[in-house]
Amino acid sequence: MGKLFQLNEAQIHDLKFQDKFKVAFRKIIALAGIAVVALTITLCAAIFGIHRTYNVLYQQQRIQGEIRIDIQALSKAYLWALSATTDEVRQEQLEKASSKYADFAANLNELEKLYSGSVSMKDVETHLAAVEANGKQLEGLFASGEDDATIFTYFNDVLYPSIDVVAGDLKVVSSETTTMGATLYHAILLIVGVGVVVTVLSIIALARYIIDVEKKLTTAISKPVNEITAAAKSMAEGNTHIVIDYTSSDELGELAKDLDRSTSISEQVIEDLSNTLDRVSSGDFTEGSQNPEVYCGDYIQLRDAIDNIVNKLSDTLQQVKESSGMVSQGADNMHDGAAGLAEGATDQAAAIEQLTASVQTVTEQTTRMAESAKHGADMVQEVGRNVTEGSERMNDVTAAMERITQASKEIEQISQTIQSISSQTQLLSLNASIEAARAGEAGRGFAVVAEEISNLANESSNAVQSTQDLVNDALHEIANGNAVVMATQEALQRVQESVDEVVAIINETGTIAEHQARSMNEINSGLEQISDVIQNNTATAQESSAVSMELSEQSNNLNNLINQFQIRG
The domain 302-567 is placed in CATH, from the list 1.20.1270, 1.20.58, 1.10.287, 1.10.3470, at: 1.10.287
Query: SS in 3 state form for 50-102?
Result: HHHHHHHHHHHHHHHHHHHHHHHHHHHHHHHHHHCCCHHHHHHHHHHHHHHHH
What CATH number labels 2-224?
A: 1.20.120.1730
pLDDT tens-digit series, residues 44-63: 988 988 988 888 889 988 99
Question: Is 5 or 458 the better-scoring residue by pLDDT?
Answer: 458
Other CB atoms closer than 10 Å to residue 435's CB: what's the count? 21
* pLDDT above 90: residue 157: yes
Burial class (CB in 10 A: 0-12, 13-18, 19+), 304: middle
The dihedrals phi and psi of 285, each to the nearest 5 degrees, come to -110, 20
CA dist 213 and 26 (Å) reads 11
Residue 565, helix vs strand vs coil: coil
CA dist 534 and 528 (Å) reads 10
**CA 562 centroid distance within chain:** 36
Which pLDDT band, with edges at 50, 70 and 90, does 348 fall under?
Answer: low
Separation in Å, CA 421 to CA 225, 329, 334, 416, 558: 73, 10, 7, 9, 18
* pLDDT above 90: residue 156: yes
CA dist 542 and 442 (Å) reads 37
- DSSP code for 3: G
Percentage, residues of the chain above pLDDT 90: 11
- DSSP code for 250: S
The answer to whether 390 touches 512, Cβ cutoff 8 Å, is: no
Strands 284-285 and 566-567 turn out to be: parallel
Per-residue model confidence (pLDDT) at position 470: 72
Angle at 413 between CA 411 and CA 418, to 5 degrees: 90
DSSP character string of 372-430: HHHH-GGGHHHHHHHHHHHHHHHHHHHHHHHHHHHHHHHHHHHHHHHHHHHHHHHHHHH
Helix or strand (DSSP H, E) at 567: strand 566-567
Question: Is 166 or 418 the better-scoring residue by pLDDT?
Answer: 166
pLDDT tens-digit series, residues 296-343: 877 788 778 878 877 777 777 677 677 767 767 766 776 676 666 567
pLDDT tens-digit series, residues 322-331: 776 776 776 6
CA dist 220 and 225 (Å) reads 9
**CA 132 centroid distance within chain:** 109
Per-residue model confidence (pLDDT) at position 404: 66
Per-residue model confidence (pLDDT) at position 130: 92
Over range 408-418, report the average pLDDT.
74
The length of the chain is: 569
289: left (phi over 0), alpha (psi -120 to 50) or beta: beta
Question: Is 450 or 355 the better-scoring residue by pLDDT?
Answer: 450
Question: Is 259 or 172 the better-scoring residue by pLDDT?
Answer: 172
Angle at 161 between CA 156 and CA 165, to 5 degrees: 160
Question: Is 479 or 246 the better-scoring residue by pLDDT?
Answer: 479
- Span between the terminal Cα atoms of the chain, in Å: 80
Per-residue model confidence (pLDDT) at position 553: 78
The dihedrals phi and psi of 567, each to the nearest 5 degrees, come to -125, 160
Helix or strand (DSSP H, E) at 566: strand 566-567
Which pLDDT band, with edges at 50, 70 and 90, does 23 fall under?
Answer: confident
Q: Residue 44 carries which side chain, given as an amino acid letter?
A: C
Other CB atoms closer than 10 Å to residue 78's CB: what's the count? 26
Per-residue model confidence (pLDDT) at position 191: 92
Helices 160-236 + 251-281 axis angle, to 10: 0
Per-residue model confidence (pLDDT) at position 193: 92
CA dist 562 and 217 (Å) reads 66
* pLDDT above 70: residue 533: no
Within 13 Å and on the Cβ side, how many CA atoms surround 228?
20
Which pLDDT band, with edges at 50, 70 and 90, does 345 fall under?
Answer: low
Burial class (CB in 10 A: 0-12, 13-18, 19+), 500: exposed
Which pLDDT band, with edges at 50, 70 and 90, does 154 fall under?
Answer: very high
127: closest CA among 171, 193, 80? 171
Helices 299-375 + 506-563 axis angle, to 10: 160
Per-residue model confidence (pLDDT) at position 320: 65
| Mean pLDDT taken over the chain | 78
Which pLDDT band, with edges at 50, 70 and 90, does 183 fall under?
Answer: very high
Over range 541-550, report the average pLDDT.
71
* pLDDT above 90: residue 427: no
What residue ranges do the domains of the chain occupy?
Answer: 2-224, 302-567
Over range 120-149, report the average pLDDT.
90
The answer to whether 139 touches 91, Cβ cutoff 8 Å, is: no
Which pLDDT band, with edges at 50, 70 and 90, does 256 fall under?
Answer: confident
pLDDT tens-digit series, residues 489-512: 776 677 677 666 755 766 776 777
* pLDDT above 70: residue 388: yes
CA dist 79 and 151 (Å) reads 10
Over range 128-142, report the average pLDDT.
91
Per-residue model confidence (pLDDT) at position 194: 92
DSSP character string of 294-363: G--TTHHHHHHHHHHHHHHHHHHHHHHHHHHHHHHHHHHHHHHHHHHHHHHHHHHHHHHHHHHHHHHHHH
Per-residue model confidence (pLDDT) at position 401: 66
What is the C-alpha radius of gyration for the chain, rounded to an integer number of angstroms? 75
DSSP character string of 158-199: IIHHHHHHHHHHHHHHHHHHHHHHHHHHHHHHHHHHHHHHHH
296: left (phi over 0), alpha (psi -120 to 50) or beta: beta
Over range 28-36, report the average pLDDT.
84
CA dist 508 and 502 (Å) reads 8
The most confident of the ranges 163-177, 216-230, 280-294, 444-458 is 163-177
